[in-house]
Amino acid sequence: MLNWVQPRVDSAELAEALPREFEGLPADLCLLPGAGTGNRSFRAVPGPSDGERTGWFVRVRNPKYAAEDAMRFEQDLLAHLKSADLPVHPPLLSRSGEPWAWIGNACVQLSPLVEGEAYTTGNVEQIAEAARFLSRLHREGRRFLGDPRKQWDREDSFMIAFAGFDLVRNRDTSGRYTADLNAVAASIHRFMRELPPQRFWKLPQSVVHGDFHQGNLLFKGDRLAGVFDWDYACEHPRLKDIANALMFLCARLPRPLDAADIRTYVQPMRFEPEWVEAFFTAYEEADPLCAEEWAALPAMMVGRWLQIRSCAIIKLPEKERLEVFCDGMAETLERLWSFSVR
C-alpha cells in the first residue's frame, strides 16, 4: 500500500512507455511492485513474470528528488565510485542520453536488477563490510567537494524536528506521551546548543550517501553486492552517514525492517556494543574519526533521529502519527545522548 508521499503512476501506462524511452527493453514488459517509502519502485520483467529475479529495476523519483542537475551529479558520482570498484550500479541512460526519462509527469530511472540478500541482523562481517564501504565512499567523495549541482542544506534542522513535534503534541489528550514529548522539546533545544551550524559545517566533509541503512543494501554472503538509493547524496559531514549506520546496522529493533513500511524504520533502538565495535574497527582502518567528530556524534545521531521520525510521520495517516512519533522516544533519546565507545 502506498504511503501519502509516494508518486502515483499507472503501472500499465508506465510498462507501455518504458521501451520507447530506454533501448533494449521488450515490448511486453510486466511491472511488479517494489519497495521504498519516498519514491516508487517496480521490478520489470519480460512478459508475465515467472517469479525469477531477472529484468530491470524501475524507479519513479519523488519530485523533490528529481532536479536534473542533482541527478547528473549523482550519475557522475556513481560512475566514479564504480570505476573505483565499489558496488554501486548507476542508472542506465535513456534514449535522450540522460540517466532518466520523463514519462508524463513521472521522472523514471532504469537500472539492471541486482541479485543479493538483505542484511542479516547482527552479522558483524556484514557490518564491517558496510563500514569499509562508507570509509571508501568518504575518501573518494572528497573529489566532488564544491560541486555546485547539489548543494543541499542540512536536514537535521531544529525546524524540521519542531514541525514533527507540532504535528502531534496537541493530540496527546490522555497524557500518555507526556514524558516522550517533554524529552523531544528538551532534546531539540540541547541539539541546537550542541550542534549549531557553525559547528556542523566545520566537521570533516565529504560526499555522503545520506540515507545509509539496511533497506538500501544488498549482500552476497558477507560481501556487499550493491548500495542503492542515492537521492540524498550530497556534500555534508561524513558523520551523518556514520550516525545512520550506527542507528540502523548496530542496534537491535523490536521488529525486522521492512523496506516498504516506514513504521519499521523508526522503531526504538538499542545499541549492541559488539556490533558498534565491529563498525568502528573497520571504518577507522584507513581514516579515523577526529576528536571533534567523537564529541559531536551523540548530537548528530539525535538530530538524525528527530528528523527521521518527523519526516516519517508525514507519510502516515493522521491517526497513527502520535503513537509512531512518541513510541519509546524518551528512552531512545537518552540512549543517543549517552552514546560512547571510548
Place of cell 519497495: 35
CATH assignment of the domain containing 287: 3.90.1200.10
Residue 193 is assigned to a structural domain of this protein: yes
Indicate whether 198 and 134 sit together in one domain: yes
Indicate whether 94 and 136 sit together in one domain: no
Residue 342 is assigned to a structural domain of this protein: no
Cell numbers for 22, please give them. 530506454
Residue 118 is assigned to a structural domain of this protein: no
Give the chain's domain count. 2
Indicate whether 306 and 191 sit together in one domain: yes
The residue among 61, 82, 112 that closes a domain is 112
Indicate whether 83 and 132 sit together in one domain: no
Residue 4 is assigned to a structural domain of this protein: no
Residue 130 is assigned to a structural domain of this protein: yes
Indicate whether 131 and 56 sit together in one domain: no
Domain limits for position 79 = 11-112
Indicate whether 99 and 162 sit together in one domain: no
Dihedral angle, C-alpha 259, 219, 122, 297, nearest 10 °: -70
Residue 5 is assigned to a structural domain of this protein: no
Cell numbers for 137, please give them. 565512499
- Distances from the Cα of 190 to the Cα of 17, 181, 270, 333, angstroms: 51, 14, 21, 11
Indicate whether 100 and 134 sit together in one domain: no
Residue 259 is assigned to a structural domain of this protein: yes
- Identify the CA nearest to 232 among candidates 148, 296, 135, 154: 154
Residue 58: half-sphere exposure toward Cβ, Cα within 13 Å: 28
Indicate whether 209 and 287 sit together in one domain: yes
| Geometric angle at alpha carbon 15, from 14 and 17, rounded to 5° | 65
What is the structure's pLDDT at 102?
Answer: 95
Cβ neighbours of residue 233 closer than 8 Å, sequence gap 6 or more: 73, 74, 77, 150, 207, 208, 209, 210
Residue 75 phi, psi (nearest 5): -65, -45
Cβ neighbours of residue 60 closer than 8 Å, sequence gap 6 or more: 7, 9, 14, 39, 40, 41, 42, 106, 107, 108
The residue among 112, 145, 166 that closes a domain is 112
What is the structure's pLDDT at 35?
Answer: 78
- Give CA–CA dist 66/58, Å, rounded: 15
Cell numbers for 325, please give them. 512519533
What is the structure's pLDDT at 342?
Answer: 66
What is the structure's pLDDT at 174?
Answer: 96
Indicate whether 313 and 199 sit together in one domain: yes
Indicate whether 161 and 244 sit together in one domain: yes
Indicate whether 216 and 76 sit together in one domain: no
Residue 333 is assigned to a structural domain of this protein: yes
Compute mean pLDDT per 10 residues along the chain, 342 residues long, and list them.
74 93 92 81 78 79 92 98 98 97 94 95 98 99 97 89 96 97 98 97 98 96 97 97 98 92 95 98 98 98 97 94 98 98 76
What is the structure's pLDDT at 3?
Answer: 67
CATH assignment of the domain containing 22: 3.30.200.20
Largest Cα–Cα distance of the chain, in whole Å?
59
The residue among 65, 87, 112 that closes a domain is 112
Indicate whether 146 and 220 sit together in one domain: yes
